[in-house]
Amino acid sequence: MPTVVMMDVSLSMTRPVVVESSEEFQRKNLAIHGLTMLFEHMATNYRLEFTALLAFSSLWELMVPFTRDYNTLQEALNNLEDYDKTCLEAALQGVSNVVQQEWGSGCPCQVVLVTDGSLGIGRGSLRHSLQTIKQRGEDKKFPLPFLFPSKLYVMCIASAEELQYGDALENLEQLLNLNGGEGQIFTMEGPLCLKNVQSMFGKLIDQAYSPFHAVLRCGNLSSDVQVFPRPEPIQLDEEVDPTPRTILTELEIVGFIEIGDISSPPVLSRHLVLPIAVNKDVDELGTGAPDEMEEDSSSTQMAGKSPNFCVLLHGSLKVEGMVALVQLGPDWFGILYSQADSKKKSNLMMSLLEPGSEPLPWLGKISQLGPTSDAAENPYGEDDSKSPFPLQPKNKRSYAQNVTVWIKPSGLQTDVQKILRNARKLPEKTQTFYKELNRLRKAALAFGFWELLKGVADLLERECTLLPDTAHPDAAFQLSHAAQQLKLASTGDSQYAAFQHNITPMLTDFSGGAGDRDRL
């Protein structure tokens, strides 16, 4: 989940902070101090996060495009200059553009707005923007809510009391509401000083940038992992189930499926699953020789050399072309697989499926998936040539069952001509002829289109008269029989017009065997 840091560089940020100590701070210094802390945290605990830095006053500028290089971000932060007044709307529009250009509109982003809470005056002020929000055309819409899923964190280098004095807090809250309530406003508690700005950013870090640690299990094999980016809670149907679902910190593998069988499932999000060394493991390794631990160059090197289940799993998934189905919560599953970034680099990836008992129709209910050994016969075949997947739906879809649609005349004409074409090839095509005839009959009856039945009957009778002398004698019998049956159906007489009834070929001396006739 990429982050955009919006840094207010308007003149009001240079207001000095009254501190009792000797050093004099500007609000800007406090802001930079807080952001430095955030960047340091990310560089160590969240280093795969892409972050961009955007500075704004009445104009905005992308100081650092999305990067994982936190030194560059820090450097840019230290070299910010001071500009004129705050104009938030333009900057938010800027964020919207920057994010969409880089990540499209489907990628969730976090926006960290750092400001002193003086949000401008007159045109371009947040107050003005919010007042005129309903009087805009399509082309000048307010940038919130963002088109991409987002969380907006407002870091105010000001105390709550200070903000309440004007309408700043109110305006910011309105801003958050515009974004669907996604996000939070942080204010300084106590006097403006380094310590309090640290505690405010500390709260942001806890809220938005705490790494997600979990244990990946497969029976008795397990590994401590970090899941990145952090999986966020998701809400299914606000009416029936308003509590957001969060994934468990105990990820349990329930079984394995071939990549071909899972076949590119739609996923909510993708996450890297990175094995991590938790201290207790290192301790265990070291129990025998505590002295030697000190000699070891680093514990990470140590961790690299002790077997880890994730690496084993990844290797086998990659070689076998399989995925592991992993339980994320009650009725919620994900898949683990090897994802190759390039030829050399690959990693263990987890995709979250839609929560629910049946996230993929072609797998059926997940709870009904069981071990192959329970089946009477190996569903994969003895030589792995078969697969129990995909499951077939109970009803065939319209395109798989040769439905009759006559909305366009061509549909009806095609069906009539299929009958005619087969009629001319009687008796060889007797079966197909009656099959097509019955299909048309059924549809005409359902649609209450009796006129068509009469029409086709006439058509068949005429075909009968047009039969060449060389025609097989059976053809004439079948045609007149079929015509007669259609006519009877078109009367609506329940005996002949029953939907399930099928017109069967007439048994003639030429078609059926003698035995058949005897039975009649």
Partner 1 sequence: MKMFSASHKTAFVVDHCHYMAESCRQQVEFDMLTKNRAQGVIPLAPVSKSLWTCAVECSMEYCRILYDIYPTRKLVNYIVSDSDCHILNSWNQVDQNTQELMARLAVVGPPNPSEDPECCSILHGLVAAVGSLCKLTEYQHEARTTLMDQAERVNNRGRIICLTNAKSDTHVRMLEDYVQETILEQNKIAAASDRLMQIQQCELVLIHTYPFGEETLVSDRPRKEISSVLSSEVHSVRAGRHLASKLNVLVQQHFDLASTTITNIPMKPTLNVCDQEEQHANTSANYDVELLHHRDAHMEFIKSGDLHPTGSTPRDSGLKETVTLKWCTPRTNSVELHFCTGAYRISPVDVNSRPSSCLTNFLLNGRSVLLEQPRKSGSKVISHMLSSHGGEIFLHVLNCTRSTLEDPPSISEGCGGRVTDYRITDFGEFMRENRLTPFPEAQGADGAGKVPLERAKGQLERHTRYWPMIISQTTIFNMQAVVPLANLIVKESLSEEDVLTCQKTVYNLVDMERKNDPLPISTVGTRGKGPKRDEQYRIMWNELETLVRTHVGSSERHQRVLDCVLACRSKPPEEEERKKRGRKREDREDKAEKNGKDSEAERSWQESERLKAALEREKDDLPESEVIKDSPDSPEPLNKKPRLEMEELQLPEKAKGPVSLFTMWTNRINAANSRKHQEFAGRINSVNNKAELYQHLKDENGMDSHENGKATR
Interface of this chain with partner 1, residues 394 to 413, rule: CB under 8 A: 394-400, 402-413
Burial class (CB in 10 A: 0-12, 13-18, 19+), 237: exposed
Contacting partner 1 (CB under 8 A), which of 69, 213, 362, 509?
Answer: 362
Which C-beta is closer to partner 1: that of 499 or that of 510?
A: 499
CA nearest neighbour of 76 among 84, 65, 86: 65
Q: How many CB atoms lie within 10 A of CB 193?
A: 17
CA distance 310 to 303: 13
Binding to partner 1 by CB under 8 A, coded x per residue (else -) over 46-65, reads: --x-x---------------
CA distance 215 to 345: 23
Among 70-78, 123-131, 444-452, 504-512, which window interacts with partner 1 (CB under 8 A)?
A: 444-452
Among 9-17, 24-32, 364-372, 429-437, which window interacts with partner 1 (CB under 8 A)?
A: 364-372
Residue 511 CA: distances (Å) to CA of 64, 211, 418, 473, 515: 85, 79, 22, 10, 12
Least spacing, CB of residue 373 vs partner 1, in Å = 7
Least spacing, CB of residue 466 vs partner 1, in Å = 6
Contacting partner 1 (CB under 8 A), which of 371, 383, 470, 519?
Answer: 371
Which C-beta is closer to partner 1: that of 133 or that of 391?
A: 391
By rule CB under 8 A, what count of residues binds partner 1?
157
Contacting partner 1 (CB under 8 A), which of 132, 210, 367, 431?
Answer: 367
Residues 176-215 binding partner 1 (CB under 8 A) are none
Residues 273-292 binding partner 1 (CB under 8 A) are 274-277, 288-289, 291-292
Least spacing, CB of residue 178 vs partner 1, in Å = 17
Residues 321-340 binding partner 1 (CB under 8 A) are 321-325, 337, 339
Binding to partner 1 by CB under 8 A, coded x per residue (else -) over 463-502, reads: ---x-------------------------x----xxxx--
CA distance 473 to 450: 29
Within 13 Å of residue 30, how many CA atoms lie on the same side as its CB? 33
CA distance 332 to 223: 21
Least spacing, CB of residue 167 vs partner 1, in Å = 32
27: its two tokens: 């609000």
Least spacing, CB of residue 515 vs partner 1, in Å = 34
Least spacing, CB of residue 426 vs partner 1, in Å = 16
In this structure, what DSSP letter does residue 14 have?
G
Place of tokens 């795969």: 48
User: 150-159 and 109-115: which strand pairing?
Assistant: parallel
Which C-beta is closer to partner 1: that of 156 or that of 360?
A: 360
Please tell me whether residue 21 binds partner 1 under the rule CB under 8 A: no
Residues 135-164 binding partner 1 (CB under 8 A) are 147-148
Which C-beta is closer to partner 1: that of 320 or that of 509?
A: 320
Least spacing, CB of residue 278 vs partner 1, in Å = 10
Residues 66-85 binding partner 1 (CB under 8 A) are none
Residue 501 CA: distances (Å) to CA of 188, 209, 438, 439, 472: 81, 68, 9, 11, 27
CA distance 112 to 151: 8
Sign of the CA dihedral 408, 413, 414, 419?
A: positive
What residues are paired with 226 via a beta bridge?
Answer: 213, 274
Least spacing, CB of residue 513 vs partner 1, in Å = 30
Which C-beta is closer to partner 1: that of 20 or that of 382?
A: 382
Contacting partner 1 (CB under 8 A), which of 54, 262, 483, 486?
Answer: 262
Please tell me whether residue 220 binds partner 1 under the rule CB under 8 A: yes
User: 322-329 and 250-258: which strand pairing?
Assistant: antiparallel
CA nearest neighbour of 246 among 235, 238, 260, 262: 235
CA nearest neighbour of 352 among 245, 275, 219, 241: 245
Burial class (CB in 10 A: 0-12, 13-18, 19+), 102: middle
211: its two tokens: 């790494």
Which C-beta is closer to partner 1: that of 16 or that of 361?
A: 361
Please tell me whether residue 240 binds partner 1 under the rule CB under 8 A: yes
Least spacing, CB of residue 465 vs partner 1, in Å = 10
In this structure, what DSSP letter does residue 191 have?
S
Residues 95-134 binding partner 1 (CB under 8 A) are 100, 102-107
Residues 376-395 binding partner 1 (CB under 8 A) are 379-380, 384, 388-395
Residues 409-438 binding partner 1 (CB under 8 A) are 409-414, 416-418, 420-421
Contacting partner 1 (CB under 8 A), which of 203, 245, 270, 429?
Answer: 270
Helix-helix angle 430-446:409-423, to 10 degrees = 150
Please tell me whether residue 317 binds partner 1 under the rule CB under 8 A: yes
CA distance 312 to 334: 19
Contacting partner 1 (CB under 8 A), which of 65, 180, 202, 255?
Answer: 255
Within 13 Å of residue 14, how many CA atoms lie on the same side as its CB? 10
Least spacing, CB of residue 360 vs partner 1, in Å = 8
